[in-house]
Chain A
Amino acid sequence: EVQLVESGGGLVQPGGSLRLSCAASGFTFSSYWMTWVRQAPGKGLEWVANIKQDGSEKYYVDSMKGRFTISRDNAKNSLYLQMNSLRAEDTAVYYCTRSFQSGNSDFGYWGQGTLVTVSS
């Protein structure tokens, strides 16, 4: 069974940093694109960033380029999101997702999400 478990969320002050982690199990982690998707309270879904199977390619939504860094450790079956210079508008539940198949076309499996609150 595919399992994705996020951690690392919490309360952080504006301008601060946070590192989210996602522990994957139940599948061959190194065979799939991985993606972070976020959802602000009461709002819709927003694609944040994704990373290729071997970590050689990374893509970000424009508003987060330069502030967020996605990475993965295939030996540890883990996905990460380093978030710097956080703003109030980054407050959201952050979901770790896996593509349904080995390509990069959708978000087939989701974790339960971790809440990031940016506030003073």
Chain B
Amino acid sequence: QSALTQPASVSGSPGQSITISCTGTSSDVGNYNLVSWYQQHPGKAPKLMIYEGSKRPSGVSNRFSGSKSGNTASLTISGLQAEDEADYYCCSYVGSDNFVFGGGTKLTVL
């Protein structure tokens, strides 16, 4: 199972919106509505931000939203803040209770 494809880096200024894409295939992202997104600050454990494609756990800011179109899932962060600077990973269910992550995207807040 190949890793999902994410841009290596994205950037934005405070207050702006950015979108991180996560491209898979019809066997993973396109076949299941089970994409999740994780935020990881340096030296810290990842944190679940979005599950089942577009649902937010309680406590996660509504500035974070998830969506999907075809084989590509997306994470949008609106009203960018300095504390959003982190690495972001997508993950998709691929069947048979297996999962695959994306390569990760480094978000820089300018």
Contact = CB atoms under 8 A, between A and B. Distances in A.
Interface of A: 35, 37, 44-47, 50, 52, 57, 59, 61-62, 95, 100, 104-113
A113 B45 contact: yes
B3 A44 contact: yes
B104 interface: yes
Interface of B: 1, 3, 34, 36, 38, 40, 45-48, 51-52, 57, 89, 91, 93, 96-104
A112 B44 CA distance: 7
B66 to A, nearest CB: 11
Nearest to A52: B97
A110 B46 contact: yes
Contacts of A108: 48, 51, 57
B89 A45 contact: yes
B2 to A, nearest CB: 12
Which are the 4 A-B pairs with shortest beta-carbon distances? A106-B36, A110-B45, A44-B104, A47-B99
Given A62-B1, A105-B34, A106-B36, A44 B51 contact: no
A44 B6 CA distance: 11
Given A105-B52, A108-B51, A112-B45, A57 B97 contact: yes
B40 to A, nearest CB: 8
A94 B54 CA distance: 27
Contacts of B104: 44-45
B100 A47 contact: yes
Contacts of B1: 61-62
B97 A104 contact: yes
B48 A107 contact: yes
